[in-house]
Amino acid sequence: MSEKLLEIKDLKVRYVVGKEVSEAVNGISLTLNKGETLGLVGETGAGKTTTALSIMNMLPQYVSRAEGEILFHGKNVLKMKNHELRKIRGKQISMVFQDPMTSLNPVYRVGEQIGEVLSLHEGKMPKEELRKRVGEILEMVGIPAARQDEYPHQFSGGMKQRVIIAIAIACRPELLIADEPTTALDVTIQAQVLDMMQELRDSLNSSILMITHDLGIVASFCDKVAIMYAGEIVEYGTLEDIFDRTKAHHPYTEGLFNAIPNLNVITPRLNPIHGLTPDPTELPKGCKFHPRCPYATDACKEGAVPVLTEGEHSIMCRRVKDRFKQAEKEEQA
Amino acid sequence: MSVPVIECIELKKYFDTPFGKLHAVDNVSFKLEAHKTLGIVGESGCGKSTLGRTILGLHKATSGKVLFDGREIQDLPAKQMKPLRKEMQIIFQDPYSSLNPRDTVSQIIAQPIRIQGILKTPSEIDARVQELMDIVGLGKRFANTYPHEMDGGRRQRVGIARALAMNPKFIVCDEPVSALDVSIQAQILNLMMDLQDQMGLTYLFITHNLAVVKHISDDIAVMYLGQMVEKSETEALFKDPLHPYTQALLKAIPIPEIGHRNSIKNVLKGEVTSPIEPKPGCRFAPRCPYATDACRSVEPQLKEVKKGHFVACHLFDDAKECTE
Amino acid sequence: MKKTRGNSIWKELFLRLIHNKRAIFAMAILLLLILIVIFADLIIPYSKAVDQNILDRFTRPNSSHWFGTDKYGRDQFARTIHGTRISLLIGFGSATIAAILGTTIGVAAAYFGGKVDNIICRILDIWMAMPSLLVTLAIIAGLGVGIPQTIFALAFGATPGFARTLRAAALSVASQEFIESSVAQGASHGRIMLHDLVPNVISQILIQFTMNVSYMILLGSTLSFLGLGAQPPTPEWGAMLAEGLQDYQFYPYLVMFPGMFLALTALAINIFGDALRDGFDPKLKGRA
């Protein structure tokens, strides 16, 4: 059995601004094993980025409230002191942000920005050695070592994103959180960056939490998938569990698959999910998806929604109860 | 054959930069028939947005011609252009910056009607705004709200209603769904296709999303660094992409199905070269796996190698020009 | 997803202003000044401000002359009250002219861009390079002394700074797509500038305007102090200060009252300007 690296238990995050309370994350639980890649899928406002920031304990201090536990190597990140956090951030857990244009400091050379992380976490080292290490890291992300003396504006978007990834992996982190790392990039460049991340994952044996809204990236990159909606994980499973269209799914997952135009199938008309993502300050009661769900019954409008599990595949929906039972019966028969 | 709604002949748009001329659109020619959708695909900086804006005269063309219903429009003075503005409209990518934040929804939709003076009395204008809001599926209650109070999908509907206000013939759609969530994307795409059927619209659909463009277009043109490298009927392009860049583009899209794990192959090396004062020869040559010396010195011309399938690549130099 | 509940920009501004204690203080003072301007003749007749009465000269403040009298025996209270009219007229008048000119120039530069922008910017550079007090003096020397000339001269000096700020503000608006959309609808340049650009820089206009008002009142007083603004016996704060200064060692109340009015007005207008800036800043939402 593989080793548990990260365990999130019943995480709840609220943002309080004035009198408005925004319920960004509503009790999610997740496990990430060593060397595994988990795809966290959801639309704007689903709570993906908030979850990622909580793992680093980087939520904005005065406006957010986090409850629950985030265990990294068995220690609760949310309870850690600042000096403990500083040791972990950048060394054991690091993060890649969405926008390569603003994540680099324009006034420092690229090499200096990578070297800064190294000397922060591995102590001071002679200049020559630092240059050599920085050069090695740049080569890993496919940038010639000689370019470490250039400034960020001399790099293209794809290369900047690779520099950011280089900073993130400089200390060979055990967990890499990538928040929409390729959204701002073109497809051919995206392919290059994903390709490179795959190689890095294999050589460093890191775990990756890949936050994205693109199911295509998930299918080509991840082992496990969690689908988030309105701050909850509505479906979780292995890649096969989620992408096998013959299996039972949460209606939201179904909706997502139906809404994207598929390159391999010609559909005269798309099937959008009706309605809009709910406002996190006014979440609906009961199942948070029921106002948009084609199968919603009166029971869905009230009370807690059961999470039904079959193996590793779990779905937060009343409706799939029967389908899971059926599957069990067929297996027995 | 009927007169195409839009025809571009060797259209060029260069911008002056401190480092030289930026070739945003370089020698682009195509015809777009009525009620059809032409998808323009390409990566950021390939000039696809500039192409759309140059056709509409929002940028002044450096050289070349734009024909609307067979009439040259690229050099028309503002006075003669104004009535033509009724016929061609634009829908923008960013539903946040494309609506005036100080105007209400009904003011935004009424603006083109007022500018063109189509309807005179306030009650007529109100009725028309109401009708347009119905068409795009916006509830009455939104008439007096401001853009910042709405979500992205609804704002995009306002943008569409504004474009439709003067019953245009031709609409440039500049990445209209790129800023939207997937579930909302589908709503807007369906709306746009319905509107095309009902009102007989002609679209120039600009996007970087190949799945979206395949879904909505009749024909697709692929652009690379300001040039059109391939143009074909949609099915044929996806079944049999000819240009090495198109092939790479199609391979780079992650497919949301199992069995595609680790399927993204890094087919292209290197980065997009600069569109400022490009070197002679094929602009794709530095990244092309098949590039020869000829590619680095001689610029390939767009050529019809199969019926309706155009490509600009030296690999097809020997192929016979397809003549009808 | 962000959703903010429906307040118009003006309502939002109003709500924020009345929740801001400093703004309330400033508005109270401004209201008082406006009342003084309107009802000056009811408070005390104008004749008291200009009629000389040698017998009553240099009276210290008492129940019949609240602010005392000057060396001609004129009632200082009446002069201060009626001086409010002139001072505010100079301040608001010149700031308004500067605002109209500056907005037009700045918005046009930002909207047309390219060569037009370049030419306008160079002209503004030259304009600003001239020492403003010197230019003001030169204009008054050319046009003659008087209130309208003072207003014009002050406005001339304030315009380029105003235009600069407005150009910067309008530039970020001009690059947005709704401007292009208006072009695509066939809107004229004038309409786009007036209907699309100006409303989106209204906050910068107001802020610049209020800052200019207080500065222009001070500058107008300086001119009067130099003998180039309001001419005797017209009551004006700056002129009163200038006259009072000759005897202030023995009769400090002569400069105290007009000085206090001047300082309070400038303070109130500045605070109000700050409050307006905050009120228009969307980033400060919910922190009023």
Chain C, 267 to 286: residues with Cβ < 8 Å from chain A are: 286
Tokens of C192: 């786009």
Nearest CA in chain B to C174: B97
Q: In chain C, what residues touch B81 (CB-CB under 8 Å)?
A: 186
Q: Residue B195's pLDDT band (boundaries 50, 70, 90)?
A: very high
Judge whether residue A239 has pLDDT over 70: yes
B166-188 pLDDT, tens digit per residue, is: 999 999 999 998 888 888 888 89
Chain C residue whose CA is closest to A45: C1
Q: Is the pLDDT of residue B1 over 60?
A: no
Average pLDDT over residues C257-275: 87
Contact C239, C70 (CB under 8 A): no
Query: Could you state, in order of their start, the residue ranges of all structural domains in chain B?
Result: 6-95+103-244
Q: Would the pLDDT of A129 be above 50?
A: yes
Chain A nearest-CA residue for B249: A188
Question: What confidence score (pLDDT) does residue A324 get?
Answer: 62
For the CA atoms of A233, A237, A239, A245, the dihedral, rounded to the nearest 10 degrees, stands at -90
**Chain B touched by C186 (CB under 8 Å):** yes
| Mean pLDDT to the nearest integer, A274-292 | 87
pLDDT higher for A321 or A274? A274
Would the pLDDT of A10 be above 90?
A: yes
Alpha-carbon separation of residue A46 from A16, A230, B145 (angstroms): 17, 5, 25
Q: Please state, in angstroms and rounded to a whole number, the distance separating the CA atoms of residues B256 and C97.
A: 62
pLDDT at residue A2 in the model: 67
State pLDDT tens for residues C123-153: 999 998 988 788 888 888 898 888 899 899 9
Contact (Cβ atoms closer than 8 angstroms) between residue A226 and residue A39: yes
A126 inside 8 A of chain B by CB? no
Buried/exposed code over A126-159 (b: 16+ C-beta within 10 A; e: otherwise): eeeebbebbbebbebbbbeeebbeeebeebbbbb
CATH of domain C10-50+66-284: 1.10.3720.10
Of C6, C185, C199, the CB nearest to B85: C185
CATH superfamily of B6-95+103-244: P-loop containing nucleotide triphosphate hydrolases (3.40.50.300)
- Percent with pLDDT over 70 in chain A: 95
Residue C3 has pLDDT above 50, yes or no: no
Residue C233: asked if its preceding bond is cis (omega within 30°), the reply is: yes
Q: How many CB atoms lie within 10 A of CB B222?
A: 28
Test C182 with B111 for CB contact under 8 angstroms: yes
pLDDT of res. A330: 55
Domains and CATH numbers, chain A: 1-85+175-195+204-333 (3.40.50.300), 101-170 (no CATH)
User: Which residue of B lies nearest to C196 if distances are taken between CA atoms?
Assistant: B100
DSSP C73-134: --BHHHHHHHHHHHHHHHHHHHHHHHHHHHHHHHHHHHHH-HHHHHHHHHHHHHHHHS-HHH
Q: Which of A172-181, A320-329, B131-140, C178-187 has the lowest mean pLDDT?
A: A320-329
Best CA proximity match to B272, nearest among B208, B206, B225, B222 = B225
Above 60 in pLDDT, residue C247?
Answer: yes
Mean pLDDT of C244-265: 85
Percent of chain B with pLDDT over 70: 95
Residue B108 vs residue B44, higher pLDDT: B108
Chain A nearest-CA residue for B137: A275
Q: Which chains touch A (3 or more CB pairs under 8 A)?
A: B, C
Residue from C13, C180, C191, C283 whose CB has the most chain B CBs within 10 Å, to mutate: C180
Question: Which of A101, A147, A186, A187 to mutate to test binding with chain B, by most B CBs within 10 Å of its CB?
Answer: A187
What does B249-303 look like in DSSP terms, one character per residue? HHHHSPPSSTT-TT-------S-PPP-BSPPSS-TTGGG-TT--HHHHHSPPPPE
* Partner-chain contact C184 B82, CB within 8 Å: no
Nearest neighbour of C177 by CB, restricted to B56, B97, B112: B97
Nearest to B171 by CA among C175, C184, C192, C183: C184
| pLDDT tens digits for range A21-80 | 889 999 999 999 988 999 999 888 888 989 999 998 888 887 888 999 999 998 999 999
CB pairs under 8 A between A and C: 12
Task: Out of A17, A18, A279, name the one closest to residue C1 (CB).
Answer: A279
pLDDT confidence bin for C2, thresholds 50/70/90:
very low
Task: Give yes or no for residue C284 having a pLDDT over 60.
Answer: no
**From the candidates C178, C182, C283, which should be mutated to test the interface with B, based on the most B CB atoms within 10 A?**
C178
Q: Please, what is the Cα angle at C193 between C191 and C197, to 5 degrees?
A: 125
Q: With an 8 Å Cβ cutoff, are B58 and C3 in contact?
A: no
> What letter would DSSP give residue A2?
P
Q: Provide the Cα torsion B65, B70, B73, B76; round to 10°.
A: 130
Q: Which of A244, A261, A274 sits opposite B215 (nearest CB)?
A: A261
Q: What residues in C contact A45, CB-CB < 8 Å?
A: 1
Q: Do A44 and C286 touch (CB under 8 A)?
A: no
- Cα separations in angstroms, B301 against A110, B282, B283, B317, C29: 40, 9, 12, 9, 75
CB-closest option in A17, A44, A281 to C286: A17
Pairwise pLDDT comparison (C105 vs A160), residue with the higher score: C105
Q: What is the mean pLDDT of chain A?
A: 86
Alpha-carbon span B43 to A189, nearest angstrom: 10
Q: How many helices and strands, by DSSP H and E, does chain A display?
A: 10, 12
Q: Strand pairing partners for B66?
A: B8
Q: Which of A186, A220, A277 sits opposite B254 (nearest CB)?
A: A220
- Please name the residues in contact with A33: beta carbons below 8 A apart, sequence gap of 6 or more: A2, A3, A4, A5, A207
- Show which of residues 203-232 on chain A sit within 8 Å of chain B, judged by CB atoms: 213-221
Domain ranges of chain C: 10-50+66-284
**Stretch B270-291: mean pLDDT, rounded?**
84
Q: Which residue of B has its CA nearest to A160?
A: B271
From B86, B93, B100, residue closest to C178, measured CB to CB: B100
When pLDDT is cut at 50, 70 and 90, the band that residue B260 belongs to is low
ipTM of this complex: 0.82
CB-nearest to C1 from A18, A20, A45 is A45
| Interchain CB distance below 8 Å, C1 and A17 | no
Q: Closest Cα partner for C168 from C97, C119, C107, C98?
A: C107
Q: Where residue C5 falls among pLDDT bands split at 50, 70, 90?
A: very low
Q: Number of residue pairs across A and B with CB atoms under 8 Å?
A: 135
